[in-house]
Amino acid sequence: MLFKTIIAIASVNRPQILHETVVGLQRQSASDFEILVCIAAASDCSTETARLPSVRVITSPRGLTRQRNCILDAVGEETEIVVFLDDDVELDPLYLENSIRFLASHADVTAFSGNVIADGSTAEEISRDAAKTLLDNSPATEDLVMDSIGLYGCNMVVRAAMARRVRFDERLHLYGLFEDVDFGERARAHGRIVWVLSCRLVHLAAKSGRISPRRMGYSQITNPLYLLRKRSANRGYLIKLLRNVILGNLVGLLVTHRGKSRLLRLGQLRGNIEAFVDFVRYGADPERISRIT
């Protein structure tokens, strides 16, 4: 069967979280889509997940940008829309139907992110049951549209033809922090980049399986510096990102903020410092994250 819409999920080392997300996708009101899961090892996806309806599993070298590009390579020419999701989201049942309808009626839009009504990355991790309750109790919204800087990687609805041309920068290694900003801003050459409020979801921001705090802290500094050199995103926006990261980690040493412990903040701050030292010595090289443990 040829699918015009692909739901794309890159996942590593979180088979149970991935399974729950894919099960949730079975509740979408739209039915003509394929779920394309890209993993780095067989253990990343359970047999139970792979046997769910409309699921196809492929493998690639580990790394968010590599896995997302692998998905683009596996997408057929007949595909019109690719919906990139994190492996820890819960979608409103109308998310996909609203997304397809929106792009069909807005030819000037090449990509958008939906309305994240609750986000565990800005507070405590959100449970799956709590996410479903939040979606059930939050009011539906019209197709309100706001222009945005970049996209939000936990949910990116993109025109497939554009995505094949733009692709993801594989130098943003492993977790690929801020790859969504880079991809979204480069996609702007092909049309508008917006937020669409009628496409609702919850980002659980599950903590298990994430990279180490030091590696996260390293990417928090190195990746924006790399994007500054690359000039793929607004300079003022990237400098603000850097400022907020440093202030957040410093404040987090004094008080628990956004559900992150002082120990985690200390690890991230250590990674921040290592990133600045490496920047002075070698320039902004995101791939050096592989040297950090």
In the block, residue with structure tokens 């590009």: 69
Tokens of residue 90, six digits: 């819960």
How many Å apart are CA 148 and CA 129, to the nearest integer?
Answer: 30
Tokens of residue 106, six digits: 């807005």
User: 9 with 37: CB under 8 angstroms?
Assistant: yes
Q: What is the pLDDT of residue 259?
A: 60
Which residue(s) pair with 112 in the sheet?
157, 194
pLDDT tens per residue across all 293 residues of the chain: 556 999 999 999 999 999 999 999 999 999 889 999 999 999 999 999 999 999 999 999 999 999 999 999 999 889 999 999 999 999 999 999 999 999 999 999 999 999 999 998 877 889 999 999 999 998 877 777 888 788 999 999 999 999 999 999 999 988 888 999 999 999 999 999 999 999 999 999 887 767 788 888 989 999 999 999 998 888 888 999 899 888 888 887 777 656 667 788 888 889 899 989 988 998 888 988 888 77
Going from the C-alpha of 179 to that of each of 45, 71, 209, the distances in angstroms are 23, 15, 19
How many Å apart are CA 21 and CA 45, to the nearest integer?
Answer: 12
End-to-end CA distance of the chain: 44
Length of the chain: 293
Domains and CATH numbers, the chain: 5-203 (3.90.550.10), 213-282 (no CATH)
Q: What is the pLDDT of residue 2?
A: 56
pLDDT tens, 260-285?
Answer: 677 888 888 898 999 899 889 988 88
Closest to 196 measured CA to CA, from 68, 97, 121:
97
Q: What is the pLDDT of residue 164?
A: 96
pTM, whole model, 2 decimals? 0.91
In the block, residue with structure tokens 């996410």: 131
Q: What is the pLDDT of residue 86?
A: 96
User: 54 with 33: CB under 8 angstroms?
Assistant: yes
